[in-house]
């Protein structure tokens, strides 16, 4: 099958290929590139069964094939804090917890290197999921980039992050709209900012040399907005963002303003998605391309569905992510 790559996106792929091949040859042979894959921008889509939200909200469409509860997904039960994600053979992740600015106890899994100042990457999941959606990708990232500290967190109301004082918060309680609040999808941005602050304060006085954010669907929205809100310059700054299946307005939480801010700061962004995603990821990538221009690298597959499902169908994507992150976080 042939993938149609818009002329504006062709340069990004050739810029990435030399580094991609070098990374793929450095360790275990990476999965061969899908001949149907090509570069493009991504868009964030929701992965939940439709509740009573705004009709125009693409983050909660009719459930695509990869949506809904299943292995690694969460349902309405309150989960006990998991010990950790299945990790690589080199180390066992540490179960960590920290609080958002509005008091939500957030849980995560932290893989540390021997260097507390090593660059770090935060993984943010999509709606109606939890940090375990990233387990396979994180294992491969750590194999290809052992110099990275890695943190995966559960967003508010998901996985183990359901505690607010003596109350319990579920993802089904979260409301759409671009306003902050305990039960708002927009406040997932605050959760990502709390994860970044946690990494910066993890070891007394030592901060990561640089931080990268990786988000899927509403996690992509939260990652972009958290990067735009971050004012740190120099050591510990957010130096790169990777977004899978981004959307311009998931749960009525916009990203256009965040993209404009990242353009001003010259923060590089890698966007990934699939044409068969019902959330019009390709359309979002075109809009991000007009804003970010050369700061945006894009990878658009013909198929793959939504969010992390794209990486499952196209495992070579993780190699591309690693090459991008290593280059932007100073590991190349």
pLDDT in tens, 289-330: 999 999 999 999 999 999 999 999 999 999 999 999 999 999
State both tokens at 125: 């999941």
pLDDT of residue 91: 63
pLDDT at 9: 43
Q: Please give the model's pTM, rounded to 2 decimal places.
A: 0.76
Contact in structure between 63 and 48 (CB atoms under 8 Å): yes
pLDDT value of residue 204: 56
Average confidence (pLDDT) over 164-189: 95
Residue 115's pLDDT is 87
Q: What is the CA 190 to chain-centroid distance, rounded?
A: 14
pLDDT of the residue at 205: 62
Q: Within its chain, how far is the Cα of 123 from the centroid?
A: 5
**Answer CATH for 7-62+85-328 from 3.55.40.10, 3.40.50.1820, 3.30.70.980, 3.40.1190.20:** 3.40.50.1820
**Mean of the per-residue pLDDT values for the chain?**
80
Partners of 270 in the β-ladder: 242, 297
At residue 8 the predicted structure's pLDDT band, cuts being 50, 70 and 90, is very low
Q: What is the DSSP string of 89-144?
A: TT-PPEEEEEE-TT-EEEEEEEE--S-TTS-EEEEE--TT--GGGGHHHHHHHHHH
CA 12, distance to chain mean position in Å, is: 20
């Amino acid at each position: 099958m042939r993938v149609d790559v818009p002329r504006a996106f062709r340069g990004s792929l050739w810029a990435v290929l030399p580094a991609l091949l070098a990374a793929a040859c450095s360790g275990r042979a990476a999965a061969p590139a899908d001949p149907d894959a090509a570069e493009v921008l991504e868009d964030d889509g929701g992965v939940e069964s439709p509740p009573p939200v705004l009709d125009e909200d693409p983050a909660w469409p009719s459930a695509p094939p990869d949506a809904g509860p299943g292995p690694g997904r969460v349902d309405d039960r309150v989960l006990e804090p998991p010990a950790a994600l299945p990790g690589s053979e080199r180390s066992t992740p540490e179960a960590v917890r920290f609080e958002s600015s509005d008091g939500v106890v957030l849980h995560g899994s932290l893989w540390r290197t021997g260097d507390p100042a090593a660059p770090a990457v935060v993984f943010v999941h999509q709606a109606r999921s939890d940090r375990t959606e990233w387990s396979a990708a994180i294992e491969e990232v750590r194999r290809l980039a052992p110099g990275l500290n890695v943190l995966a967190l559960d967003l508010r109301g998901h996985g183990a992050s359901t505690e607010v004082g003596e109350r319990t918060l579920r993802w089904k309680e979260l409301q759409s709209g671009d306003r902050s609040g305990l039960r708002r999808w927009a406040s997932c941005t605050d959760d990502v900012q709390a994860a970044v602050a946690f990494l910066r304060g993890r070891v007394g006085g030592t901060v990561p040399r640089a931080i990268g954010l990786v988000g899927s669907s509403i996690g992509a929205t939260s990652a972009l907005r958290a990067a735009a809100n971050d004012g740190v310059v120099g050591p510990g700054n957010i130096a790169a963002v990777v977004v899978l299946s981004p959307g311009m307005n998931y749960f009525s939480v916009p990203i256009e303003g965040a993209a404009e801010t990242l353009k001003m700061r010259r923060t590089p962004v890698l966007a990934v998605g699939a044409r068969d995603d019902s959330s019009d990821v390709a359309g979002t990538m075109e809009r991000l391309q007009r804003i970010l221009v050369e700061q945006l690298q894009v990878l658009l597959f013909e198929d793959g569905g939504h969010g992390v499902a794209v990486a499952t169908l196209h495992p070579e994507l993780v190699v591309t992510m690693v090459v991008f992150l290593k280059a932007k976080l100073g590991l190349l």
